[in-house]
Amino acid sequence: MPIIRKTFSALSIARRLFLPAGGTLLLAQFVVGAASAQGLPLIRDAEIESLLQDYSRPIFQAAGFGGGRVTVRIINNDAFNAFVLDGANVFVNTGTLMQANTPNEVIGVIAHESGHIAGGHMAALRARIAKDQTRALLTQVLGLGAMVAGGVQGGDSGRDTMQGGAAIMQGGSSVIMKGLLAERRSQESAADQAGIKYLTATKQSGKGMLDTFQRFKEQEYLSDQFQDPFVRSHPLSAERLARLNQLVTTSPYFEQKDPASLQLRHDLMRAKLSGYLETPSAVFNRYPDSNTTLPARYARAIAKFFRGGGGALEAAVQDADAMIRENPSYPYFYELKADFLMRSGKMAAAVPSLRQALKLAPNSPLIRVELATAVQNIDSADAQKEAIDQLRKSLVEDAENGHAYRLLANIYYKQGRGPEADAMTAQAFFYEGNIKQAQIFAKRAQLKLRSGSPEWLKNDDIINYKPQT
């Protein structure tokens, strides 16, 4: 369904990527900013992911890591922020997508974060933290040694020695912190330059990136609690901004504008996020009836449905049908209508709209999962077979979709195929990050699966998987 929510463990990734044994969570300050260590609330949506793929694909190719190596993931957070944690993911907040007025602003952010990935900045930061922690430990040992010696010595001389030991500890930490901040500033500047290089290679303007950084430069004078996380995780300087300004304004593509069709898709994305994530009253304030644009009608259709009350479903479906008549080749209006019906328990009624949506967007694994969800509720062997087929096809393109594995498991359980169901449940737990439960179900499934079969091998990988510390 549109706007599927899930949780992505930031803390487990931080430990895996950045922290040696006994390390401190410096990542929270220097990379993630305000992201919760309890988990990143990711969302999935076919329409938005398709748009972000179109934004990022040329940039990723210019950066040298095309072919699906890097994925843009969406975090449900109102703040403007984006960051990378590894070489495989760019995280972008919904607040960034909603506050960016043009596609070029989002593309600029993606280009900047791609610069971090291409520059190996996360690996360098991890190595720096590991080195600095060793240095900090040695500084603490020296400082404690001086303080102990002062305590044994006693008197004025002892107090001086103890104070000197404390100064060693404090001064060592200050030097380490200054060094780490200097490296972060250097990485940010390098990411700017790389980002502009990618934008130029793809014949796009860097104005969106420049506008973003200029807008947030003023926030550096605010206290941390009032700053946007983007400012804290992307330290700025006047020199860096001046250099970026020169690079952007001297580009031959500085005046290049976003195509009107791309701008419309961007506006539809913002309207959809508003409709699904904001309260109906907020949506109607943002998109009043006087606004008759397609994005405004999109947002209001969603808000009408979630406002509830008598006739809410009928009014929302009527709005969706009107948009479909005017835009018969746009798959996501069919998906929207189907979502209204499915959320109202009308699974069978949603199937024709989902079939048409998939026909128009045949490479969308999420729409396949939606269709399988609706079809599996039809009580017939053919319907169950179709649901299995759609889910398996979706997992070829989107192999880490835990929800699809759970749907497959439910169907297999209904069919009495216990080992296959356990195997799918193991995969679901694995991609959701619950390794312990994944291994329990994998061991149970492997006892009855044919040795050496594809499913047996997948479960064997799960059983033998050892999380990095």
Residue 178 is predicted with a pLDDT of 57
- Alpha-carbon distance of 149 to 141, in angstroms, equals 12
**pLDDT for 458 beyond 60:** yes
Q: Which of the four pLDDT bands, split at 50, 70 and 90, describes residue 84?
A: confident
Percentage of the chain modeled with pLDDT above 70: 74
56 within 8 A of 89, measured Cβ to Cβ: no
Residue 228 is predicted with a pLDDT of 55
Tokens 């290089």, residue located? 197
Per DSSP, 224 falls in state G
**pLDDT for 120 beyond 90:** no
- Alpha-carbon distance of 426 to 402, in angstroms, equals 10
Residue 445 is predicted with a pLDDT of 94
One-letter amino acid for residue 440 of the chain: I
453 within 8 A of 445, measured Cβ to Cβ: no
Predicted TM-score (pTM) of this structure: 0.80
DSSP secondary structure, 367-381, as one string: HHHHHHHHHTTS-SH
Count of helix runs (H) and strand runs (E) in the chain: 22, 5
- Alpha-carbon distance of 119 to 133, in angstroms, equals 23
DSSP secondary structure, 142-208, as one string: HHHHHHHHHHHH-HHHHHHHHHHHHHHHHHHHHHHHHHHHHHHHHHHHHHHHHHHHHHHHTT--SHH
Residue 152 exposed, middle or buried by CB count within 10 Å (0-12, 13-18, 19+): exposed
240-290 pLDDT, tens per residue? 888 999 999 999 999 999 999 999 999 999 999 999 999 999 999 999 999
